[in-house]
Chain A
Amino acid sequence: DAGVIQSPRHEVTEMGQEVTLRCKPISGHDYLFWYRQTMMRGLELLIYFNNNVPIDDSGMPEDRFSAKMPNASFSTLKIQPSEPRDSAVYFCASSFGVYNEQFFGPGTRLTVL
């Protein structure tokens, strides 16, 4: 299995631009998680899905952030408009069943200038 795939690996954009991060979970996994990692706040959960349905989005910082999962093999995290404080590494993770290990993708390093 290829593991969790994220794209792009690096993204540099200017303030005000729209940014879309993509994730392909491991085939057969029914849970998908989006995390953000910063020096100041560490690793924090933004949102997670079960069977493509958003379950808990309480970690989404503000309305500029949105996440979708149109099917079992694809999810996006969109920031519109982006701001310099959104600069972070964004991880996607998936698991089969809620009690099993979460497998993380390699992350997307986002830099907003």
Chain B
Amino acid sequence: AQTVTQSQPEMSVQEAETVTLSCTYDTSESDYYLFWYKQPPSRQMILVIRQEAYKQQNATENRFSVNFQKAAKSFSLKISDSQLGDAAMYFCAYRSSMGDYKLSFGAGTTVTVRA
């Protein structure tokens, strides 16, 4: 099974500032998918951004962008212009592109936004 590691249990950011969340993963596959999910206090899991491993270009969704380093097996999430509504737990997830379609999640990073 693939291992996804989020080494930062908690991160704090000032409103309007930028925060970067780290994620590394372990795989022997060359093609796969990576995701960042947001879980606010409501518990709802919301997809923030996804990246296909075969695409070299980093994915971007509004204020959210990733830095995908395939050789280093690193997939960090950058939240720009942080807003109070960004406060949540963020999970990095991995999914194979062949055969095994389950999501493997990291332990999560809790993001606090200071007003």
Contact = CB atoms under 8 A, between A and B. Distances in A.
A is bound by B: yes
Query: Which residue, of B91, B100, B102, B104, has the highest number of chain A Cβ atoms within 10 A?
Result: B102
B101 A42 contact: no
A107 B106 contact: no
A113 interface: no
Q: What interface size band does chain B fall in? A: 20 to 34
B102 A33 contact: yes
A43 B44 contact: no
A54 to B, nearest CB: 13
Contact of A106 (B42, B91, B101, B107): B42
B97 interface: yes
B59 to A, nearest CB: 13
Q: What interface size band does chain A fall in? A: 20 to 34
A109 B42 CA distance: 12
Contacts of B103: 33, 35, 43, 45, 102
Interface of B: 33, 37, 42-47, 50, 91, 97, 100-108
| The 4 A-B residue pairs with the shortest CB-CB distance in the complex, in nearest-first order | A104-B45, A43-B105, A45-B102, A98-B101
Interface of A: 31, 33, 35, 42-45, 48, 55-56, 59, 89, 91, 93, 98-99, 101-104, 106-107, 109
